[in-house]
Structure 1
Amino acid sequence: MPGDSKALDTGFAKASHAVGPPELQLPPPRLAPLPAGPSDSEEDASQGGNAIANSSLEDSQYVLPRRTRTEPPSKVARAAPWLIASGAFVLYALISILRYERRESMSWDLGIFTEAVRGYAHFQAPMVGIRGQEMNLLGDHWHPILMLLAPFFRVFPSPVTLLVAQSVLLALPAVPLTRTAMDLVGRYQGYAIGIAYGLSWGVVQAANFDFHEVSFAVPPIAFSLCAYIRGEYRKTILWALPLLFVKEDLALLVPIIIAMVIARTGFPRRTVVQAGVLACGVALGALTTSFLVKIVIPRFNPNGVYEYWNEGGCLDPKLHSGVGKLLTCVPQQFVNGLGDKESTVLMTLLPVAFIALRSPLALLAVPALVARFVNVMPSYWGTNFHYSVVPMVVVFAAAIHGLVLMKESREREAAHPSRFPEPKSWLRTIGDAQVKHGAVAMLAVAAALTQSFPLQDLLHHQTWYPSPRAKAIKRAEAAIPSNVTVETTVEMLPALAARDETLWIGNANIVVPPDYVAFDIDRAGWGGQATAQDFVVARHPGYSYQEVFADTADNVFVFKRTG
């Protein structure tokens, strides 16, 4: 994976860093005064429309002039991005690890990924019984990047290893975002934007949601887009490439980002050609995702299918086989849950004080939002879980880009006042306010929203101390030996998946009865049975199980198969 830019450490990008690969024929940076361009009001209007292919890409016509410092940046300034990222890491790690210690898993995902990484750590396929016996997790989603966690898990075989890794991945984007904002917008504005990212609700929600492979996408997106803003196009492309191995839908972004670089460097001032290049990038991205969904993932799936077509509703080939039906179905599906979907869009733009709308980069958040809104499951539409983390990092990068565009516009006006009559539009007035106070507004919004999202949980006493139920669950886990097959409920899945072949008690496709059955009745339900013993026997008729642990106060039980 490519390293961070040295230009990030020393200020604005040097001319040597702005030169890209030969095949892209990147233009050298212009160190002369910026050329005259259209008026600020026209530029702002085009940026507000978020059209990648139109005049909002005017920044492609030049790069920032060389700016000099009167003295080297202080040690504090150089260390600030890493200090902000470190603070964010501590917050994310506390949120996720304390939730795990309280045994309050929000879904089966932490158990699933723990079992998959355990397989990789022992040089085996990621077979995950939680999703179904004989289930290779690469047949569920495409995320071979999880292999990177295997060496760490081999040394520290615990779900906490995944949670710590996720906290690092979520915090790391604060480094390029802060550095880019410091260098191109202003030092203190950069501090504010970096802290605002660390506190942003979309990232905090991802940290609070157990573990998910999408966390691997956050640093590449941040580094790639920040390199694009700086005009470091080789790094833009190299940082985007890991997205091909994170998740099938994120692979869509890679050809689009490459097309952005080609359009910006190969065809400056040619709007129609730029639009064509970007359209080709979108088409190639769609083909890449389709290849993974229709060919690669089914090859690993025991049933030879992609399991999530039905969640797309309109995209399910069994329900809608024709293009005409698809075109009539999609608009109707977008209308469903419209209140929640509108709120999600507003909440995505609110942490950046809507400044992201000043940059065409904001359009890169659209695929992730569309994929959620087309889904028929309402849980995808709102602000819960981890679904907003990718749009969140995109809009923060877009906000920095928007501030840079507006700042450059005002610098051109100051250099050539006769060419730019003072505009009077309301958009210009808002832009002036965003340039002056945008970073502070972003920080204020992020701080205010912490009261409605999981960060405020750290202020509560019960967050830091496991309940008697959690202690009972941990004793039940200790009663189960390693390297056995165990069927269990969600809150026990992660700890047991780190050392056992684990099955989810909610699955109906368990073929071979497990060695142990461990459950919390409050999560499993009695299934109409009178006792815990009857519950286990009813699940596995013809087999006998003996109770080896029981906490009747908290309804936690463990049974061992005896015959």
Structure 2
Amino acid sequence: MSIQTAPPQPTAVRPEARKGRSPQRLSDTQRTLLLTGLCFAALLGTDLRAWSSVGLGGFDLGIFDQGVRGYAHFGLPVSTLKYFHHEFPPGFSLLGDHFSPILALLAPLYWVWDDPRSLLLGQALLFAAGVPLVRRISDHAFAAAEPVVRRRARDLAGLVFGLGWPLLVASQVGFHEVGFAVPLTLLMLERGMAREYRPVVLAAVLLCCTKEDMGLVVAAYGLVLLWRGRGSAAARTARQTGGWLLVSGLATTAITVQWAIPTMGGEPGYYWHYDAVGPNAPAAALHVLTDPLVLLRAATDQTLKPLLLLWLFGTLFLLPLRSATALCAVPLLAERILSSNPNHWSVARHYDAFLWPILLTATIEVLGRLHGRGRPRRVQWLGIGLAGVSLATAVPLGLAELAIPSQWSPGPRQVTLLKATALIPDGAWVEADNQIAPRLTARDHVVLVDQTPRGCEYVLIRSLGRSFPFATDQQQRDRIRLLLAHGYRQVWGSNGVVLLHRWQSEPVPGEHVPVPGGKPVQDVVPADVGHNLFEG
């Protein structure tokens, strides 16, 4: 009797194997690198497009270039653009403007490439460093989800963050302290989600070195940790850390504003723009205690203020409002919607980039909770919708210009400004048009040409096309006539751009340079500036 065995069945061969290839799927590390590289390329491209089109001004790229250049030469971050224009006394450094000692970490970039674009490169790198952190935040939020869901959530979160319109807008307007604030805020929030509180404290300390008001964000996150650690013996470390962040964050802001900034030549209340609430912080606090509705009145006295809130939260489907993390955004939002300065009301500047890591983290947390409550389809459609809205807003607010060749080229007047700079010798003192100032800060002593003559050797100014800080073209033409009548002569002029050279020592009426004990002045914002949500 023989035993019959069934013949072996043929194994199904996948098409990839038949072609001699094995299927490949990007690893998580590769996905992270890909998204990080995409973010870096988009943001650096946005920076360089603005630079190549001569769209970045002395305020603020030139200011930071002068300041970080000071650090690179082992000195204080002194900016003649800033302290001459605002009449700060000699000895004033940028630490007396905003307390941002962390900017010294960018000094080594100047040892490699002595150019203002080093700052743009550094900011793009710092923003891109947030992509891995956002992906880890998503991993924490979707910890209980299936691997495929977690992978998709990580990818979507990284994409939405990296191509987010707040980062694109911040890149379009040059360099600011927000470059450090974004990754440090993400690190603080991510380590808090991982319950690793020593890195939370480290990130909080570095945030307080980024800008004086970031201490308020740290304090708010302390409240979040206290809230989340309530009623649980296992969360004792969270409560202790939260209490420490709350107290130290508030104390750091108070100390930097009241002591550190004045020590560096600044004034404690220089950026107080809250006249509707009170003339100073103590008076405002008393006013709020006696009349709490003053906050509502100040937050709604301009149409753009509620529209700003609607835009920020509406583009995220109001989801951040369902997370305690959103509390960290309250100090930054209050600074803007209670302000009487129109520059704070639009989304055309870098301010929203400070909020972006907070609001996006809160959104991811809410989506993770919804998925954990058995609503995967709802989360899927919300995620797709958020990605669609994010990319749809990013295109007109920055991405589209990257693909338009003409947006990379300077206009006729900008070309003329560039030609004029070639006629200015190295090492000269120059009063320069705001838009061209960053092209001179690497080789000259540059101050901003404004309504006050400074007696510099060269003056580069426009007669057509209003430039900050002038309110009208006529003011610029009046300034040119005044200089020509008192010791200056025109050495070059074309297309509404004039280069003047001082050839006589005749004093100019109104000529003034900052002196010890002088009182800093504020800019008067022109009536047509800052009153459009999407324009500066």
* Short-chain TM bin: 0.7 to 0.9
Q: What is the root-mean-square deviation in Å for CA atoms of aligned residues? A: 3.1
Whether contact under 8 Å (1:224, 1:237) holds in the other structure is yes
Matches within 5 A, 1:433-444: 433-444=377-388
Shift of 1:323: 0.8
Please, which of 486, 491, 503 is the counterpart of residue 548 of structure 1?
491
User: Taking structure 1 as reference, are residues 279 and 76 closer, same or farther at Cα in structure 2, changes over 3 Å only?
Assistant: closer
Moved more, 453-462 or 371-380: 453-462
Q: Which residue of 2 aligns with 1:479?
A: 423
Using the alignment, how far apart are the partners of 1:507 and 1:163 within structure 2? 30
Using the alignment, how far apart are the partners of 1:467 and 1:529 within structure 2? 20
Paired residue secondary structure (2:466): helix
Paired residue secondary structure (1:222): helix
Q: Is 2:93 aligned against 1:141?
A: no
Whether contact under 8 Å (1:373, 1:380) holds in the other structure is yes
Q: Which residue of 2 aligns with 1:518?
A: 460
Q: Is 2:217 aligned against 1:253?
A: yes
Paired residue secondary structure (2:440): helix
Matches within 5 A, 1:351-366: 351-366=315-330
Match for 2:499: what amino acid? V
Whether contact under 8 Å (2:300, 2:306) holds in the other structure is no
Please, which of 175, 179, 197 is the counterpart of residue 136 of structure 2?
179
Structure 1: gaps (5+ residues): 1-72, 411-430
User: Taking structure 1 as reference, are residues 100 and 250 closer, same or farther at Cα in structure 2, changes over 3 Å only?
Assistant: same
Q: Which residue of 2 aligns with 1:349?
A: 313
Q: Which residue of 2 aligns with 1:452?
A: 396
Shift of 1:116: 1.0
Q: Which residue of 1 aligns with 2:277?
A: 314
Using the alignment, how far apart are the partners of 1:374 and 1:278 within structure 2? 27
Paired residue secondary structure (1:523): coil
Using the alignment, how far apart are the partners of 2:32 and 2:80 within structure 1? 41
User: Taking structure 1 as reference, are residues 252 and 184 closer, same or farther at Cα in structure 2, changes over 3 Å only?
Assistant: closer
Please, which of 481, 499, 515 is the counterpart of residue 534 of structure 1?
481
User: Taking structure 1 as reference, are residues 271 and 179 closer, same or farther at Cα in structure 2, changes over 3 Å only?
Assistant: closer
Q: Which residue of 2 aligns with 1:333?
A: 298
Please, which of 205, 211, 217 is the counterpart of residue 241 of structure 1?
205
Q: Is 2:286 aligned against 1:323?
A: yes
Using the alignment, how far apart are the partners of 1:238 and 1:394 within structure 2? 18
Matches within 5 A, 1:265-284: 268=232, 281-282=245-246, 284=248
Paired residue secondary structure (1:546): strand
User: Taking structure 1 as reference, are residues 311 and 527 closer, same or farther at Cα in structure 2, changes over 3 Å only?
Assistant: farther
Structure 2: gaps (5+ residues): 1-23, 85-89, 143-149, 505-536
Q: Is 2:117 aligned against 1:160?
A: yes
Paired residue secondary structure (1:376): coil
Whether contact under 8 Å (1:89, 1:167) holds in the other structure is yes
Paired residue secondary structure (1:490): coil
User: Taking structure 1 as reference, are residues 284 and 496 closer, same or farther at Cα in structure 2, changes over 3 Å only?
Assistant: same
Moved more, 473-482 or 215-224: 473-482
Moved more, 498-507 or 483-492: 498-507
Q: Which residue of 2 aligns with 1:61?
A: none
CA shift digits 1:14-45 (9 cap, x unpaired): xxxxxxxxxxxxxxxxxxxxxxxxxxxxxxxx
Whether contact under 8 Å (2:58, 2:81) holds in the other structure is no
Using the alignment, how far apart are the partners of 1:477 and 1:356 within structure 2? 48
Match for 1:165: what amino acid? G
Match for 2:498: what amino acid? F
Using the alignment, how far apart are the partners of 1:238 and 1:273 within structure 2? 15
Moved more, 106-115 or 480-489: 106-115
Matches within 5 A, 1:43-58: none
Please, which of 321, 330, 344 is the counterpart of residue 380 of structure 1?
344
Whether contact under 8 Å (1:313, 1:376) holds in the other structure is yes
Q: Which residue of 2 aligns with 1:151?
A: 108
Q: Is 2:436 aligned against 1:492?
A: yes
Paired residue secondary structure (1:560): strand
Shift of 1:235: 2.3
Shift of 1:325: 6.5
Aligned length in residues: 461
User: Taking structure 1 as reference, are residues 189 and 504 closer, same or farther at Cα in structure 2, changes over 3 Å only?
Assistant: same
Match for 2:109: what amino acid? F
Paired residue secondary structure (2:491): strand
Paired residue secondary structure (1:211): coil
Matches within 5 A, 1:82-231: 82-105=33-56, 108-133=59-84, 134=90, 135-182=92-139, 184-185=141-142, 186-231=150-195
Paired residue secondary structure (1:108): helix
Shift of 1:222: 1.0
Shift of 1:523: 3.2
Whether contact under 8 Å (1:259, 1:277) holds in the other structure is no
Whether contact under 8 Å (2:429, 2:444) holds in the other structure is yes
Match for 1:534: what amino acid? R
Using the alignment, how far apart are the partners of 1:391 and 1:528 within structure 2? 37
Q: Which residue of 2 aligns with 1:558?
A: 499
Using the alignment, how far apart are the partners of 2:201 and 2:475 within structure 1? 57
Whether contact under 8 Å (2:451, 2:479) holds in the other structure is no
Paired residue secondary structure (2:447): strand
Shift of 1:451: 3.7
Using the alignment, how far apart are the partners of 2:122 and 2:228 within structure 1? 35
User: Taking structure 1 as reference, are residues 498 and 448 closer, same or farther at Cα in structure 2, changes over 3 Å only?
Assistant: same
Using the alignment, how far apart are the partners of 2:478 and 2:253 within structure 1? 49
Shift of 1:255: 3.8
Using the alignment, how far apart are the partners of 1:529 and 1:216 within structure 2? 36
Paired residue secondary structure (2:211): coil
Shift of 1:461: 3.3
Shift of 1:167: 1.4
Using the alignment, how far apart are the partners of 1:277 and 1:180 within structure 2? 19
Using the alignment, how far apart are the partners of 2:422 and 2:178 within structure 1? 31
CA shift digits 1:537-559 (9 cap, x unpaired): 46xx4xx2233332x2x222222
Shift of 1:291: 1.7
Match for 1:317: what amino acid? N
The percent identity for this pair of structures is: 26
Paired residue secondary structure (2:498): strand
Q: Which residue of 1 aligns with 2:450?
A: 506
Shift of 1:247: 0.5
Using the alignment, how far apart are the partners of 2:349 and 2:373 within structure 1? 39
Q: Normalised by the size of structure 1, how large is the TM-score? A: 0.74
User: Taking structure 1 as reference, are residues 353 and 77 closer, same or farther at Cα in structure 2, changes over 3 Å only?
Assistant: farther
User: Taking structure 1 as reference, are residues 215 and 505 closer, same or farther at Cα in structure 2, changes over 3 Å only?
Assistant: same
Moved more, 465-474 or 317-326: 317-326
Whether contact under 8 Å (2:55, 2:435) holds in the other structure is yes
Match for 2:411: what amino acid? S
Match for 1:357: what amino acid? L
CA shift digits 1:87-140 (9 cap, x unpaired): 111111111211122112367111111111121112222221212333321111
